[in-house]
Amino acid sequence: MKKEDEHNCISKDDLFEETKLNIDKFGLQVISVTSTNYSPSFAYSIGLTKTYNHPEIICFGFSNRLGHEILNDVAEIIKN
């Protein structure tokens, strides 16, 4: 595996547990996916359906940080 192909993902079990905790605490989990040479970055929600009976949201083309902030802002609007 080339150095640029390496990534630092958490284990599947840890991700599931963290997701459950964040949904309970914040009402959602935001997952961010970094862009590649052939795919734009994107972020999506998990938990809006369970917490607020609202469809999940995805946004494309923003930095990971901005995509995360946008989804959190939209979740706050849904909550209110």
Is 11 within a domain? no
- Summarised one tens digit per residue, pLDDT across range 48-75 is 999 999 999 999 999 999 999 999 999 9
Is 75 within a domain? yes
Is 2 within a domain? no
- Measure the CA angle with vertex 68, ends 47 and 21; round to 5°: 40
Is 64 within a domain? yes
The CA distance from 50 to 74, in Å, is 16
Is 65 within a domain? yes
pLDDT at 9 over 70: yes
What is the average pLDDT score of the chain? 90
Q: Which domain holds residue 33?
A: 29-80
Predicted TM-score of the model (pTM)? 0.80
Is 23 within a domain? no
DSSP three-state, residue 46: strand
Is 16 within a domain? no
Q: What is the pLDDT of residue 1?
A: 47
Q: What is the pLDDT of residue 46?
A: 96
What's the structural domain count of the chain?
1
- Summarised one tens digit per residue, pLDDT across range 12-47 is 899 899 999 999 999 999 999 998 899 999 999 999
